[in-house]
Amino acid sequence: MRYTPIPSTTYIEHRQRLIQRLPAGALVIVHSNDIMPTNADGSMGFSQNSDMLYLAGIDQEESILVLFPGAGDEKHREMLFVRETSEYIAVWEGDKLTKEQATERSGITQVHWLQEFETLFRLIMCQATQVFLNSNEHPRAKIDVETRDLRFVRRCMTEYPLHRYERLAPLMHELRTIKSAGELVPLKEAVRITESGFLRLLKFVKPGVHEFEIEAELSHEFLRNRASGFAYTPIIASGANACVLHYITNNAVCQEGEMLLLDIAARYGNYNADLTRTIPVNGRFSDRQRAVYNAVLRVFRACCQMLRPGVIIHDYQKEVGKLMESELIGLGLLKKEDVAKQDPEKPLFKKYFPHGTSHHLGLDVHDVGNTWKPIQAGMVFTVEPGIYIREEKLGVRLENDILIGENGNIDLMASIPIEADEIEALMAAR
């Protein structure tokens, strides 16, 4: 394992927070994700179920977490099932968690081998009055494969059709939006590693460099700092590519006079940073580039103050749109009279700023959370306004990660250079 695990006390706290929200007689069952196949005998790298990570910190396939706080037998109130290792597995795959290691990691004392699940599962199902099962309910999720969670839901409903089944996802979304102190440790480390990568790039980027060479520099910096890699597929977009919001080809040559949009971040200990910077390839902003850059920066600064407890993201986004309209008028991209008579359902600013400004961040990059509920202290959001001018082959986006506070927010990326003059000075010093 590359990363330092979060202490088990954090996971004990997380489980208690969930248990406090459960009705009497409730049973919770959470599975690890599947290992997904590719072709022939290949498989993708394992990516753990974020709810398993949140509740138990177990980053291993074929694990099952059972919470049954009302169980008559105290030993059945918290159980973890993990894959038993063997000499064959040790030779071909490496070590798996022992029961003692699983207890140390999760804080769960009742750890069983996976083959014991069937017997205990029937025992507790005969006692439970309602069962909370998991599913991916992120509003932007597009799922074309049958997940382990879905297979288990179907099994339960077939074998125990008279039980009452409930959705675990809404409870997990509510819990995971408020970051515990333990979660902030790996999140801040992911930010630190991301900063190290960005500073390295300021010394490396110049005309003639390929976008994929920049990606390679980042990958080296992230991995040598014990990150598991990129938090998401990096966007390294020079010139007109910056106007493609999810550009991930990363194969163009960075040209003299272009801007380079970098949406890049590290993942550490299963927590994700999310950073965007836009820099001049040659190290110097043109007057037009600086004007667009500073317009985005002004919106960014305002957004960081607007995200406050009690605010609803939908309302916040409307206010961001007004700020952006003003900046686009100032840049000569929109006319004031056209904005005054625009269709409110189709605001003109969306031609140049078509995406949202903020999303939850944590175990997932686009983390779970109900954006129709008021913001609360302890949440972590991105702030990422941008202006994309396709006709000028110019795109600028800036993004930091913000921890919401009761009396003021904390910019987790405050030390990462963002002012145009800072960027120029650091690139000149290479």
Instruction: Say if residue 26's pLDDT is above 90.
Output: yes
Instruction: Say if residue 9's pLDDT is above 80.
Output: yes
Closest of 73, 132, 81 to residue 106, by C-alpha = 81
Give the homologous superfamily in CATH for domain 8-176: Creatinase/prolidase N-terminal domain (3.40.350.10)
- pLDDT (0 to 100) of residue 194: 98
Instruction: Say if residue 152's pLDDT is above 80.
Output: yes
Instruction: Say if residue 86's pLDDT is above 90.
Output: no
pTM for this predicted structure = 0.95
- pLDDT (0 to 100) of residue 111: 98
Residue 2 binned pLDDT confidence (cut-offs 50, 70, 90): confident
Residue 1 binned pLDDT confidence (cut-offs 50, 70, 90): confident
Instruction: Say if residue 145's pLDDT is above 90.
Output: no
| Cα–Cα distance measured from residue 394 to residue 292, given in angstroms and rounded to the nearest whole number | 9
Instruction: Say if residue 70's pLDDT is above 80.
Output: yes
Report the pLDDT averaged over residues 3-11: 96
| Cα–Cα distance measured from residue 290 to residue 297, given in angstroms and rounded to the nearest whole number | 10
Share of the chain above pLDDT 90, in %: 90
- pLDDT (0 to 100) of residue 167: 97
Do 281 and 254 contact (CB within 8 A), yes or no?
yes
Do 27 and 132 contact (CB within 8 A), yes or no?
yes
Distance between terminal CA atoms of the chain?
Answer: 34
Spans of all domains in the chain: 8-176, 181-428
Q: Which CATH class is domain 181-428?
A: alpha beta
- pLDDT (0 to 100) of residue 142: 84
| Cα–Cα distance measured from residue 164 to residue 99, given in angstroms and rounded to the nearest whole number | 32
Output the 3-class SS for the chain.
CCCCCCCHHHHHHHHHHHHCCCCCCEEEEEECCCCCECCCCCECCCCCCHHHHHHHCCCCCCCEEEECCCCCCHHHCEEEEECCCCHHHHHHCCCCCCHHHHHHHHCCCCEEEHHHHHHHHHHHHCCCCEEEECCCCCCCCCCCCCCHHHHHHHHHHHHCCCCEEEECHHHHHHHHHCCCHHHHHHHHHHHHHHHHHHHHHHHHCCCCCEHHHHHHHHHHHHHHCCCCEECCCCEEEEHHHHHCCCCCCCCCECCCCCEEEEEECEEECCEECCEEEEEECCCCCCHHHHHHHHHHHHHHHHHHHHCCCCCCHHHHHHHHHHHHHHHHHHCCCCCHHHHHCCCCCCCHHHHCCCCCCCCECCCCCCCCCCCCCCCCCCCEEEECCEEEEHHHCEEEECEEEEECCCCCCEECCCCCCCCHHHHHHHHHCC
- pLDDT (0 to 100) of residue 190: 98
Instruction: Say if residue 109's pLDDT is above 90.
Output: yes
- pLDDT (0 to 100) of residue 169: 96
Average predicted confidence (pLDDT) for the chain: 96
Instruction: Say if residue 139's pLDDT is above 90.
Output: no
Tell me which of 213 and 146 has the higher pLDDT: 213
Output the 3-class SS for 23-69.
CCCEEEEEECCCCCECCCCCECCCCCCHHHHHHHCCCCCCCEEEECC
Closest of 209, 256, 263 to residue 236, by C-alpha = 263
Would you state the structure tokens that stand for residue 268, as one six-digit string?
């550490």
Report the pLDDT averaged over residues 11-32: 97
Per-residue pLDDT tens for 365-406? 999 999 999 999 999 999 999 999 999 999 999 999 999 999
Per-residue pLDDT tens for 258-307? 999 999 999 999 999 999 999 999 999 999 999 999 999 999 999 999 99
- pLDDT (0 to 100) of residue 37: 86
